[in-house]
Every structure is written in C-alpha cells, then in structure tokens.
Amino acid sequence: MHTVVLGTAGVTAADVVAVARRDARIELAPEAVEALAAARRIVDALAAKPEPVYGVSTGFGALATRHISPELRAQLQRNIVRSHAAGMGPRVEREVVRALMFLRLKTVCSGRTGVRPEVARTMADVLNAGITPVVHEYGSLGCSGDLAPLSHCALTLMGEGDAEGPDGTVRPAGELLAEHGITPVELREKEGLALLNGTDGMLGMLVMALDDLDTLYKSADVTAALSLEALLGTDRVLAPELHAIRPHPGQAASAANMLAVLKGSELTGHHQDDAPRVQDAYSVRCAPQVAGAGRDTMAHARLVAERELAAAVDNPVVLADGRVESNGNFHGAPVAYVLDFLAIAAADLGSIAERRTDRLLDKNRSHGLPPFLADDAGVDSGLMIAQYTQAALVSELKRLAVPASADSIPSSAMQEDHVSMGWSAARKLRTAVDNLARIVAVELYAATRGIELREGLKPAPASRAVIAAAREAGVRGAGPDRFLAPDLAAADAFVRSGALLAAAEGVTGALA
C-alpha cells in the first residue's frame, strides 16, 4: 500500500487524493516529530507565565478576554471541541472527512500549532485504522477554519461522538478506538483550538474536484469531437495556427485534443455536401474556447491549492523565532473564490455540451440524422427525454454557479463579522462536478448513436475505439425504444471511471 510521509513542508495534491480516496497509509517524518516537540516546548513555557496568551490561557473568539486558570485549561480544550461539534444535516462523504483530517494533520506537522507529537500520532493512527468521524453537512462558515466539521473529527480523537469503522458501520468512537488499540487523547493548552482552526475541508474538496475535473475536461473534449463527427462538422477550426493567434493555453490544449481524436475521420468536412453550411454553430466551433477557458480556470485553482497545501493555517501560530502570534490566515477567501470560479466553468462546459446534444436530436439542424435519433420516429421517441434530463442537469449547474463567496454572515457576537462561506462553495462544487459527469455522459450517448447512424463513412479510429469500449461497458447503441435509464447510468459510469478517456487515449496517446 502507498505510504505518505508527512514532514514539515506541506503535502501535494496527489498525497491528498491517495489518503482520501485510496486509503494510503500515513507516517510522520522524524523532522515533523522534532518540530512538534520544539513548538510544544514554547507553548508550555507560555502556559507557565502569568500573562494571558490567546488560545493557551484565554477563552476563544468573543470570549478571549477571560484569563483561564491552569486547573481549568484541560477542561477548556475539551469544551471547545464538544461545543463546536455542532454540525447538522446529512453525513459528509468518507473521502471528504479523510481529506479534512489529513490536511489538519499536515498543518499540525508543520510545527506551527504547538500540538504535542502524541496528538499527531493519534490522528495518523485513526486515519490508518480506517476510522472516519461522522461529520455533518452544515456548521462551517469558512472562517476561523471549518470549525464544526473539524470539531467532529477532534471529538473522535477524544474517544467521543460517533464514527464509521472500516466495515462501514457507524458506532461510538470510543469503541472503535479501543478495538484498534488507540488511546484517546487528553487535550492540553491550545490543542483543542489547533485541531479546529483550518481551511482543511474546503481545501480537500478543492483538490478532489480538480482531480475529477481533469478527467472530465479531457472527456468533454472527446465527446465534443464525437459530436462534431456526428454532425458532419469541419475540423479545420481546430488547426493549431488558429489557436496560436489567441494564445490561451487551455484553448490550444482542448483544440489539440479534439484534433487528435478526429484524426483519420471520414465524417468531418462533409458539411457542404448536402447543405450550404459555411461554418458550424458556436456549440461545435467554439468548443475549444469554452473548454479551454475552464482549463485555464483550473490552472489558477491548482496554483491556489498548491499554495494552501504548503501553508500552516492556525490561530495563533508558533513562529520560528518563538513568538506565538494571532493572525487571520484561517480566512477561506482564497480557496472560496476558486471553488466558485470552478462551479461557473463547470456550468458553462455543461451548457455547451447540452447544446450539441440538442443539435444532434433536431432533424432541422442535425444534417440528415433522424428526429431524436429515433429508430422509427413517431413510434419511437429516441433520446428526446434523455436531453430533458441533460437540460435539467444544466439548469441545476447554473443555479450552483451562483457564488457562495459573495455572501457573508456575522457570527460570534460580531467578533467574526466577515466570513468566506468557502465550505458552502466546496459543497456545491461537488454537486456540480457530479452533474457535469452526467451531462458529458448524455452527450456521449447521443454522439455515439449519431455516428453509428451515419452509414457509408468511417469515423476516426479513436472514435471507433470509444464506441466499442462504450458498447462493451453496457452503453447500448441505436435501436428501438427501450428502458433508457440503465443505458444512461452505464454511460455515466463509463465517463466517471475514466474508461471513456482511456479508450480514446488508447489510440491518440495521452491527451493534454
């Protein structure tokens, strides 16, 4: 099994995906243990002084003015976890919780939080045991960290609350820890606060969304190329010299992908044989421009994610010179903005894909294809309602594109008077990514059927490979009406799993 070694310098996106989705094991590097111990010595020294230090010997948030006596500090740290574990609503997905915990552990290992090494080891042990705290949908405003979600995770470290075991059963966390020989932590000064104060949930969801979108954007290039073939469109608009004069890198990459898929096609360039078309509709001709803009948006989001993955987000923080200073680095604005930006890009990619599907189904615009790609139009409805479903998903994407980060609501007696809503941006992006996969799947289903109905002309080798793989995966082809939902589900799985992309790349080589 793959192992991720945590040092003091942060982690990579690949590390996050490996732990969250593939249960990679975690080890603490010696340098991380040394940094943890050194920072803890600073916190212990401050705790012994009479002067109040935020998070060490004071209350929290709007209650930070109260100095807490030494005998009450352990209770204070327990209480902040218990009181902040106030989430409500459905459970958050296992992979999100694992990413959340792993990224908090990443910051803890930076040596900037003052947490003891044994707390970090317990966090790693819980993840390695496959124990997943129960975290709820609502409770984070994306400022002062993803407070409620992280509190539910910290509660598990204390042996309290509920968690899911490696068998998928939810049980009391204390029982699960005992079964795996893990001793619950007894929090000391600053440790409760340090376990709650980060942008880890929204960052984890950003990293996983980027992983999914990388596959989906390449897959959308493939389905756009298939639609172009089915519509007898021209591939001349994909020429590299045309995209070089508007030098957006994403646009050039998308056009190159489509051109690679279409290489060797006998279907392209026949658009003037039966109708006086001078150029294709925007949804076909401008596919690289729209998909390319989304790719460039992803590149910016990756840059933000990389910076955040290298960050140590906590308040207060232990600096290299020994100072413990309050700060505002827990504000989620940088992450929230790109989460919203990606939702906008996903909505537009879904929108243009749906327009191509609609064109394939309209006999007045499909250049010779039967109405709705039906076997016997009138008796058969063909893919009429598949497009309805796709249109409903597109409209949902447009609603999800409304930015969460433009909102703010004050909390904590106006101490936290401006918040990022980054967690909410991340949650809606996950839904948007899921819906985008379904939209691409419907275009795939329509485009492959359209190509099969073009008799006498051979599609490109890559297109033939995609169609063959799709049929083998249960995405059935043209024919009389049948129960359509299973076919669409098979198409969705084919796209989501990466099988569509793999089939194309088996001919084209790696797409950009």
- Token pair in block for residue 224: 């756009």
Are the C-beta atoms of residues 100 and 153 closer than 8 Å to each other?
yes
Query: CB–CB of 44/158 below 8 Å?
Result: no
Q: Give 41's Cβ-side CA count (13 Å radius).
A: 8
Task: Look up tokens 């793959």; give the residue.
Answer: 2
Active site residue 54: yes
For the chain, the residue count is 512
DSSP per position, 132-180 = EE--EEE---SSSSSHHHHHHHHHHHTT-SEEE-TTS-EEEHHHHHHHT
348 Cβ neighbours under 8 A, 6+ residues apart = 290, 293, 294
The whole-angstrom separation of Cα 341 and Cα 344 is 5
Strands (E) in 252-296, as ranges, are none
Question: What is the signed CA dihedral for 309, 311, 313, 319, rounded to 10 degrees?
Answer: 160
Which of the following is catalytic: 54, 217, 282, 388?
54
The answer to whether 207 and 305 are in contact (CB under 8 A) is yes
Residue 352 CA to residue 488 CA, distance in Å, equals 19
What positions carry a catalytic annotation?
54
